């Protein structure tokens, strides 16, 4: 925390340099005004985002002949319009959950690799490369996913179908692997860097003395991690995952390039179909008329609210952790 620094203010009854001081004061006022104004501008933008989206969404939903929440249809070209977000909500949640299930354990593993396992010469470059990979644009992931990952997954999916097809959710009818599961895998690869670097930062902050305490009791490296590192880093891992989840939920172009969408909920995760909020907006935008655009905005508002909730939860966990570890770190 910073200390309080008051601007040089009227120290009682010492008026020798009135002129320069009044200039200083005017400058201070202008500067404070500008910077406070910027802060307020930020708040106004946020409020405007919520307000405009809600307004357009209300317009759209009032024209919707079907139930906005439960309809399996996106028909905004005709009037009356019939559209609903059920498929999108399902696809968004399912693909993000798959991404989390794959990415979080691996990311924690990589973070541990960098902080505790890798030879020192390897650790720093690996961390650096992971940070750089966070900067690869999502459309490039999308292109790679569509042209490289998808063809390479058909073999794996056939295999899943052979052994796990009886479950229903992992059956595969063949064809291009442009399914929600593929989206999940791609999203996992995309959020890996961010989850890794946040977790790594947390693991790095584990006080050395707690690790030494465990070592001195005769703990193996894994036991040190379980006794001292993971308990200390748990909330950090959770918030890192939530940040990753926020990214996965809102990812647009990578999903739009990889998924072959429709407005059905397939039982199998491996068969093409389904959609996500963001992908649906990008895919339907060009052909949408005025009403269609409003309908897409309405679905965007739902996405906005979901990501707000997820990110808010992540921030709360981080804030709680700061209080908790304030003395220890």
Partner 1 sequence: MAKRIDVSGLTAYYGSHKAIEDISMTVEPRSVTAFIGPSGCGKSTFLRTLNRMHEVTPGGRVEGKVMLDDENLYGSEVDPVSVRRTVGMVFQRPNPFPTMSIFENVAAGLKLNGSYKKSELDGIVERSLKGANLWNEVKDRLNKPGAGLSGGQQQRLCIARAIAVEPDVLLMDEPCSALDPISTLAIEDLIGELKERFTIVIVTHNMQQAARVSDRTAFFNLAGVGQPGKLIEIDETERIFSNPSVQATEDYISGRFG
Partner 2 sequence: MSNAVIDKSEAPGRASGPAPLRQARLPRWTPYALLVVSAAAGAGIGTALGMDSAFQWGLIAAVVFVLAGYGLGAVVEGGRQARDRLATSLVWVCFLLAVVPLLSLIWETIDRGRTVLDGYFLSHSMEGVQTILPGGGAYHAIIGTLEQVALAAVIAVPIGLLTAIYLVEYGRGRLAKAVTFFVDVMTGIPSIVAGLFILSFWIIILDFSYSGFAGAMALAILMMPIVVRSTEEMLKLVPDELREASLALGVPKWRTILKVVLPTAIGGITTGVMLAVARIAGESAPIVLLVFGAAGINNNPFEGAQSSLPYYIYEQWQLGNDASFNRAWAAALVLIAFVMILNLVARGIARWKAPKTGR
Q: Using an 8 Å Cβ cutoff, are 244 and 269 in contact? A: no
List the structure tokens of 168.
Answer: 């229903």
Q: Which does 215 bind (CB under 5 to 8 A by kind): partner 1, partner 2, none?
A: partner 1
Q: Give the CA count within 13 Å in the CB-facing half-sphere of 299.
A: 36
Beta-bridge mates of residue 74:
83
Told to check if 212 binds partner 1 by CB under 8 A, we report yes
Residue of 198, 306, 279 lying closest to 244 (CA atoms): 198
| Distant-in-sequence, close-in-space partners of 161: CB < 8 Å, separation ≥ 6 | 170, 171, 172, 270
Residue of 186, 110, 113 lying closest to 145 (CA atoms): 186
Binding part of the chain for partner 2, among 68-76, 77-85, 201-209, 248-256 by CB under 8 A, reads 248-256
Q: Using an 8 Å Cβ cutoff, are 85 and 64 in contact? A: no
Q: What mask of x and - would describe binding to partner 1 in positions 229 to 258, judged by CB under 8 A?
A: --xx--------------------------
Q: Which does 106 bind (CB under 5 to 8 A by kind): partner 2, partner 1, none?
A: partner 2
Told to check if 218 binds partner 1 by CB under 8 A, we report yes
d(CA 292, CA 136): 32
Enumerate residues 170-189 that contact partner 2 by CB under 8 A.
189
Closest to partner 1 by CB, 74 vs 232, is 232
d(CA 70, CA 87): 8
Enumerate residues 20-59 that contact partner 2 by CB under 8 A.
21, 23-25, 27-28, 30-32, 34-43, 45-46, 48-49, 52-53, 55-56
The only residue of 99, 112, 214, 240 in contact with partner 2, by rule CB under 8 A: 112
The only residue of 69, 101, 159, 329 in contact with partner 2, by rule CB under 8 A: 159
Judged by the rule CB under 8 A, the positions of this chain that interact with partner 1 are: 120, 207, 209-210, 212-220, 223, 227-228, 231-232, 325, 327-328
């Amino acid at each position: 925390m910073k200390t309080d620094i008051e601007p040089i203010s009227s120290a009682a009854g010492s008026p020798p340099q009135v002129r320069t001081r009044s200039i200083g004061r005017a400058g201070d006022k202008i500067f404070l005004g500008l910077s406070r104004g910027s802060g307020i501008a930020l708040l106004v933008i946020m409020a405007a985002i919520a307000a405009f989206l809600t307004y357009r969404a209300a317009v759209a939903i009032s024209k919707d002949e079907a139930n906005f929440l439960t309809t399996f249809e996106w028909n905004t070209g005709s009037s009356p319009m019939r559209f609903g977000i059920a498929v999108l909500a399902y696809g968004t949640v399912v693909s993000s959950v798959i991404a989390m299930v794959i990415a979080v354990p691996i990311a924690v593993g990589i973070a541990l690799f960098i902080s505790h396992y890798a030879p020192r010469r390897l650790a720093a470059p690996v961390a650096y490369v992971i940070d750089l990979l966070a900067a690869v644009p999502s459309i490039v992931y999308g292109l790679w996913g569509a042209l490289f990952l998808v063809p390479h997954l058909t073999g794996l999916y056939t295999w899943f179908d052979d052994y796990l097809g009886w479950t229903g959710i992992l059956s595969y009818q063949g064809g291009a692997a442009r399914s929600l599961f593929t989206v999940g895998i791609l999203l996992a690869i995309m959020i890996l860097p961010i989850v890794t670097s946040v977790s790594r930062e947390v693991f790095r902050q584990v006080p050395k003395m707690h690790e030494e305490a465990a070592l001195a009791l005769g703990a193996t490296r894994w036991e040190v991690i379980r006794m001292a590192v993971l308990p200390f880093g748990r909330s950090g891992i959770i918030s890192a995952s939530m940040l990753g989840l926020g990214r996965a939920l809102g990812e647009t172009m990578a999903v739009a390039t990889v998924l072959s969408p429709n407005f059905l909920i397939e039982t199998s995760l491996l068969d093409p179909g389904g959609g996500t909020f963001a992908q649906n907006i990008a895919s339907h935008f060009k052909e949408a008329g005025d009403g269609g655009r409003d309908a897409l905005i309405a679905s965007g508002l739902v996405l906005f609210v979901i990501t707000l909730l997820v990110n808010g939860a992540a921030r709360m966990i981080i804030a709680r952790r700061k209080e908790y570890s304030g003395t220890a770190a």
